[in-house]
Amino acid sequence: MVTKKQIRSANKLKNAKKQKPKYPLLLQKVLDTSDIILEILDARFAKEMQNKEVEQFVKTKKKKIIYVLNKVDLTQKRNQKLNPRIFVSCKNRKGINELRNKIKQEAGKIRKTGEYERIQVGVIGYPNTGKSSLINLLIGRSSAKIGAEAGFTKGIQKLRLTENIQLLDSPGVIPAGDYSMTNEKKIALHAKVGGRSPNQIKNPEITLNEIMKTEKKSFEKFYKIKFKNAEDLIEKIGRKKSFLKKGGEVNSDQSARFILKDLQLGNVEIL
Ligand SMILES: Nc1nc2c(ncn2[C@@H]2O[C@H](COP(=O)(O)OP(=O)(O)OP(=O)(O)O)[C@@H](O)[C@H]2O)c(=O)[nH]1
Ligand SMILES: [Mg+2]
* pLDDT tens by residue, the chain, 271 residues: 555 655 554 444 444 567 787 888 999 999 999 999 999 999 999 999 999 999 999 999 999 999 999 999 999 999 999 999 999 999 999 999 999 999 999 999 998 776 678 999 999 999 999 999 999 999 998 888 888 888 888 899 999 999 999 999 999 999 988 888 889 999 999 998 888 889 889 899 999 999 999 999 999 999 999 999 999 999 999 999 999 999 999 999 999 999 999 998 889 988 8
Residues 201, 215: Cα–Cα separation, whole Å: 18
Using alpha carbons only, how large is the chain's radius of gyration in Å?
20
Neighbours of ion ligand 2 (CB under 5 A): 131-132, 152-153
Residues in the chain, overall count: 271
HEC letters along 161-183:
CCCCEEEEECCCCCCHHHCCCCC
Q: Give me the pLDDT at residue 8, please.
A: 53
Report yes or no: 133 and 96 within 8 Å, Cβ to Cβ.
Answer: no
Residues 7, 269: Cα–Cα separation, whole Å: 28
Looking at this protein, which amino acid is placed at residue 114?
A: G
HSE at residue 155, side-chain half, CA atoms within 13 A, is 3
Instruction: Please tell me the number of the ligand nearest to residue 41's CA.
Output: 1
**Gap from CA of 192 to ligand 1 centroid (Å):** 14
- Ordered structural domains, the chain, with CATH: 4-16+181-264 (1.10.1580.10), 22-177 (3.40.50.300)
Ramachandran sector of residue 121 (left: φ over 0; alpha: ψ -120 to 50; beta: rest): beta
- Taking CB atoms and a 6 Å cutoff, what residues make up the pocket around ligand 1? 70-71, 73-74, 89-91, 127-133, 146-148, 150-153, 171-172, 266
Q: Give me the pLDDT at residue 17, please.
A: 61
In 59-185, the DSSP E strands lie at: 64-70, 85-87, 119-125, 157-160, 165-169
- With the CA atoms of 236, 240, 242 and 243 taken in that order, what torsion angle do they form, in degrees rounded to the nearest 10? -40
Residues 30, 24: Cα–Cα separation, whole Å: 10
**Gap from CA of 206 to ligand 1 centroid (Å):** 26
In sequence order, the β-bridge partners of residue 81 are none
Q: Which of 44, 196, 228 is nearest to 126 (CA)?
A: 196
- Residue 40 Cα: closest atom of ligand 1: 19
- Cis bond upstream, residue 24 (ω within 30): no
Pocket residue to mutate for ligand 1, from 88, 146, 196, 265, most atoms within 8 A of Cβ: 146
- Residue 70 Cα: closest atom of ligand 1: 31
Strands 119-125 and 64-70: unpaired
φ, ψ of residue 240 in degrees (nearest 5) = -60, -40
pTM, two decimal places: 0.88
Instruction: Please tell me the number of the ligand nearest to residue 147's CA.
Output: 1
- With the CA atoms of 171, 174, 180 and 183 taken in that order, what torsion angle do they form, in degrees rounded to the nearest 10? -130
Give the C-alpha distances (Å, rounded to integers) separating 11 from 6, 166, 193, 203, 217.
8, 42, 21, 9, 28
